[in-house]
């Protein structure tokens, strides 16, 4: 009998065996993890901090703007203190892409407007007033405006694809339109059904 067994008996022996097994398991894990071939690295500067993941129970407060990249219209998400309404989102859009967005290859195709664009909202609707003839906008510019306005905080709690955006300017009205994916489409009104005879 060794001194541990004679002095403390069975429970001490079981405790010693458990500690020994735990130590062996920890050593085996350390050897296995260090053998993965992953070397430690320094901090890598890769642009702005990640955003978009919110703590549970926190409302999303990002602003989603739409710019053009190498593969067409792309959304750019920016963190915000509160959800942006269409006017705030359009104002940010008119400032163009920030440094990080330009680094991603994003740019704006919007023309220089002679004044501020004004956005008013209703339940599930946005009305954009331009300081110029709305018919002069090309489809790429319409995509940027419609998708940015529709993805802002619009009364009525409709998803962005159901928010209708109408653009007026110079006595011309374009729309209503919706943002479907990454493009603006005219709202298709169902044709009246012919009476059944």
Q: In angstroms, how far apart are the furthest CA atoms of the chain? A: 106
pLDDT at residue 20 above 90? no
Q: How confident is the model at residue 18 (pLDDT cuts 50, 70, 90)?
A: low
For the stretch 67-84, pLDDT in tens is 999 888 898 998 888 788
Q: Which residues contact 105 (CB under 8 A, 6 or more apart)?
A: 69, 70
Q: How far apart are CA 153 and CA 88, in angstroms?
A: 10
Count how many Cα atoms sit within 13 Å of the Cα of residue 51 in the half-sphere of its side chain: 15
Please tell me whether the overall predicted TM-score, pTM, comes out greater than 0.85 for this model. Answer: no
Q: How far is CA 71 from CA 5, 75, 96, 106, 107, in A?
A: 75, 12, 18, 10, 12
pLDDT higher than 70, residue 132? yes
What gap in Å lies between CA 146 and CA 179, rounded to an integer? 6
Q: Which residue has the higher pLDDT, 42 or 153?
A: 153
**Interatomic CA distance for residues 175 and 121, integer angstroms:** 15
Calculate mean pLDDT across residues 58-71: 78
Share of the chain above pLDDT 90, in %: 26
């Amino acid at each position: 009998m060794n001194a541990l067994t004679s002095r403390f008996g069975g429970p001490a022996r079981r405790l010693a065996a458990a500690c020994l097994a735990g130590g062996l398991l920890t050593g085996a894990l350390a050897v296995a993890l260090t053998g993965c071939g992953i070397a430690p690295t320094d901090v890598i500067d890769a642009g702005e901090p990640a955003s978009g993941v919110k703590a549970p129970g926190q409302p999303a407060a990002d602003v989603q703007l739409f710019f053009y990249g190498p593969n067409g219209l792309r959304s750019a998400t920016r963190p915000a203190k509160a959800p942006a309404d269409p006017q705030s989102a359009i104002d940010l859009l008119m400032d163009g892409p920030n440094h990080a967005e330009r680094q991603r290859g994003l740019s704006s195709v919007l023309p220089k407007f002679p004044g501020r664009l004004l956005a008013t909202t209703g339940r599930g609707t946005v009305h954009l007033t331009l300081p110029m003839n709305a018919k002069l906008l090309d489809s790429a510019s319409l995509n940027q405006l419609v998708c940015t306005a529709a993805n802002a905080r619009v009364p009525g709690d409709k998803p962005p694809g159901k928010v209708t955006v109408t653009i007026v300017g110079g006595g011309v009205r374009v729309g209503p339109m919706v943002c479907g994916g990454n493009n603006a489409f005219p709202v298709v009104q169902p044709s009246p059904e012919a009476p059944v005879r």
